[in-house]
Chain A
């Protein structure tokens, strides 16, 4: 096992990008993710890469679109208000089937909001975010190690399915430090020579576009994308489930909320209760099937989020009325403690008992 270093979540993402062979970064400074461009501006020139501090988030995402259209592994990172600006480009990338990594170290909103941790961008991330009928891959790390691991996975999935991928973390995961074991992916980068732009030498010219004006063309394109999404849902859904027989209640949470909730769950289980934990690692595709299977066992759920209720809608869609779904939400400005979540769970158990 390689030696572990003690690393900030943001830096883990930047290091993972380099390990994944990403040589091109385009971004614009914003708190609380600036460690990422700061790190990469120092490292990328030394590996034959390019770091461009763009004039705006809009320019940055379009630079990613350009680099991605040539098949080069590239990324951008930002935080909530900046991610809003990137939505135009993300929609074009999705429509044009261009891969690329977008990192969102969420802060609080709406508007300028604040710089405290939040999970307020769940809807934006998992519903596409920009105009049109599309999805992007969304991975939600909960530890510094996962910031690293899922960044590499996001690059791989993005290339494999030719769709933009997002690492959806937040200020807590970005700013905190934990032990990190760095590793280099063994898997060779996806061969993109069948579609990437490289100059029309010895082959037909290529167009990468999202404009389809011919009769029925666009509908066909949308259906094709949907088929693609169905494949991703079937093959790439990831969720960590810790639920035992006769589980009294399962907490569903992702990212930093899952970290805080886990402490409350552990405490209750130490006290002899039987509380389960479901942590979606991909929030698109969402583990509908896995949660539905638990609901079929009549397990009630408590969804915990650092917002006023977003992922809970997906939990309800999974359950489809089979069991009860409660919600504990913590809007930005402060972080709930494990004790507060402990109280929420206890209240629900008391009602049930």
Chain B
């Protein structure tokens, strides 16, 4: 009998705690596949962030240090500068990276830190219970935007990938989604590229992944999955925003 599908080696054999229909599990798997592909499991140190993603140390069979909210890119800077031979990645949600940790991500990117960043954008604060995030869509109701996000009151959802792609220190920047098999293929490819960017010393590799949060969106898994293409992708266009071929920014 031929094996056609198995757990990536760098994932621990355990069930995810994530809610039904949440994409975190899928994204974890894509990251684990990249770790396996580049054979970096034994040299990887990850900086976990605050939010639902903090538990990645329960799922990945790798060394992990926890960071304060938003500070993972600074923590990763410290790890990588002191250990340039290690593979270092961070995995942050939208509140973590695009609100409280804006300074840390922008300056880590601007310094061209050789780290890989997985940015999970689900337009809401998950773990704290569905509050408005910097990426919350206009009109989206959350527990702190009960009348729907209004630009006059809350500003517009922030597009991080476009912003970071401008910075010279970023070697690779892409936005992907995991809502369909076609998108999943592109997401896998983008994460692989973000890994390669670090391994080849080309600066920060950054991938934004559009993701569901059915629980805090008040939707079922199928409906939530549909929202990605219907509402999010039109505002957060998918694609590769930056791809540097050499470490010429040095």
A contacts B directly (C-beta below 8 A): yes
By a beta-carbon cutoff of 8 Å, the part of chain A in contact with chain B is 23-24, 26, 50, 52, 54-56, 58-60, 62-70, 72, 74, 88-89, 92, 96, 98, 197-202, 205-211
Interface string of B44-81 (1 = CB under 8 A from A): 11011000001001001111111110010011111111
Contact of A197 among B45, B60, B68, B103 (CB under 8 A): B45
Contact B79 A92 (CB under 8 A): no
Please determine whether A92 and B74 come into contact, CB atoms closer than 8 angstroms. no
| Residue among B62, B66, B86 making CB contact with A96, cutoff 8 Å | B66
Residue on A with the closest CB to B67? A62
Q: Is the CB of A211 within 8 A of B66?
A: yes
Contacts of A58 in B (CB 8 A): 71, 74, 103-104
6 pairs, A vs B, C-beta closer than 8 Å: A55-B106, A64-B78, A66-B77, A69-B65, A70-B45, A207-B66
Beta-carbon contact of A55 and B66 below 8 Å: no
Partner pick for B66 among A50, A60, A202, A208, CB 8 A cutoff: A208
A57 CB to closest chain B CB (Å) equals 11
Report yes or no: A67 in contact with B79, Cβ–Cβ below 8 A: yes
Find chain A residues with CB under 8 A from B77 CB.
26, 52, 54, 59, 63, 66
The reply to whether B71 and A199 form a contact with Cβ atoms under 8 Å apart is no
Q: In the complex, which of the residues A65, A67, A72, A200 contacts B67, with contact meaning CB atoms closer than 8 Å?
A: A65
Q: How far is the CA of A56 from the CA of B71 in the complex (A)?
A: 11
Q: Is B41 an interface residue (CB 8 A)?
A: yes
Tell me the bound Cα distance from A74 to B79 in angstroms: 11
A98 to B48, CA, bound (A): 15
CA distance A89 to B65 in the complex (A): 13
Contact of A200 among B42, B79, B107 (CB under 8 A): B42
Contact partners of B250 in chain A: CB under 8 A:
none
Check B78 against A63 for contact (C-beta < 8 Å): yes
A56 to B43, CA, bound (A): 29
B247 touches A (CB below 8 Å): no
Q: In the complex, which residues of chain A have a beta carbon less than 8 angstroms from the beta carbon of B62?
A: 199-200, 205
Closest 5 CB pairs of A and B: A66-B78, A63-B78, A201-B42, A62-B74, A55-B107
In the bound complex, how far is the Cα of B123 from the Cα of A118, in angstroms? 46
The answer to whether residues A67 and B81 also contact, given A55-B103, A59-B103 and a CB cut-off of 8 A, is yes
- List A contacts of B42 (CB < 8 A): 199-202
Whose C-beta in chain B lies nearest to the C-beta of A96?
B66
A50 touches B71 (CB 8 A): no
Is there an interface contact between B78 and A206, defined as CB atoms closer than 8 Å?
A: no
A55 neighbours in B (Cβ, 8 Å): 103-104, 106-107
User: Does A24 lie within 8 Å of B81, measured CB to CB?
Assistant: yes
Q: With A92-B66, A199-B87 given, name 11 new contacts (CB 8 A).
A: A52-B111, A58-B103, A59-B107, A62-B75, A70-B82, A197-B64, A198-B86, A199-B41, A200-B41, A207-B57, A208-B66
B83, CB-defined interface residue at 8 Å: yes
Q: Which residue of A lies closest to B83 (CB)?
A: A70
Residues A72 and B83 in contact, CB atoms below 8 Å apart: yes
Residues of B contacting A56 in the complex (Cβ-Cβ under 8 angstroms):
103
| Closest A residue by C-beta to B55 | A211
Interface centre among B61, B63, B83 (most CB of A within 10 A): B63
The CA-CA distance from A62 to B106 in the complex, in Å, is: 15
Name the contact of A207 in the complex, choosing from B64, B71, B74 (C-beta under 8 A).
B64
Residue in B closest to A71 when the chains form the complex, CB atoms: B82
Is the Cβ of A89 less than 8 Å from the Cβ of B61? no
* Bound Cα distance A64, B61 (Å): 24
Q: How far is the CA of A67 from the CA of B64 in the complex (A)?
A: 13
Tell which of A62, A96, A201, A211 touches B78, judged by Cβ atoms closer than 8 Å.
A62
Q: A160 CA to B156 CA in the complex, in Å?
A: 49
- Contact residue among B43, B64, B111 (Cβ-Cβ distance under 8 Å from A208): B64
Instruction: State A92–B74 Cα separation when bound (angstroms).
Output: 14
Chain B residue nearest to A89 in the complex (CB) = B68
How far does the alpha carbon of A207 sit from the alpha carbon of B66 in the complex, in Å? Answer: 8
CA of A205 to CA of B48 in the docked complex: distance in angstroms?
Answer: 14
Q: Which residues of B contact A211 (CB under 8 A)?
A: 54, 66
Bound-complex Cα distance A55 to B60 (A): 30
Q: Which of B43, B67, B82, B104 is close to A199, meaning CB atoms less than 8 Å apart?
A: B43
Interface string of B87-128 (1 = CB under 8 A from A): 100000000000000011011000100000000000000000
Least CB distance from B75 to A in Å reads 4
Chain B residues with CB under 8 Å of A67's CB are: 78-79, 81-82
- Taking a contact as CB atoms under 8 Å apart, the answer to whether B78 and A199 are in contact is no
Shortest CB–CB separation between residue A325 and chain B, in angstroms?
A: 39
Task: Give A142 Cβ to nearest chain B Cβ, in Å.
Answer: 31
CB-nearest residue of chain A to B84: A50
Q: Contact: B82 with A62, CB < 8 Å?
A: no
Taking the closest CB of chain A, its distance from the CB of B43, in whole angstroms, is: 4
Q: Which of A50, A65, A74 contacts B65 (CB 8 A)?
A: A65
CA of A148 to CA of B127 in the docked complex: distance in angstroms? 46
B74 touches A54 (CB 8 A): yes
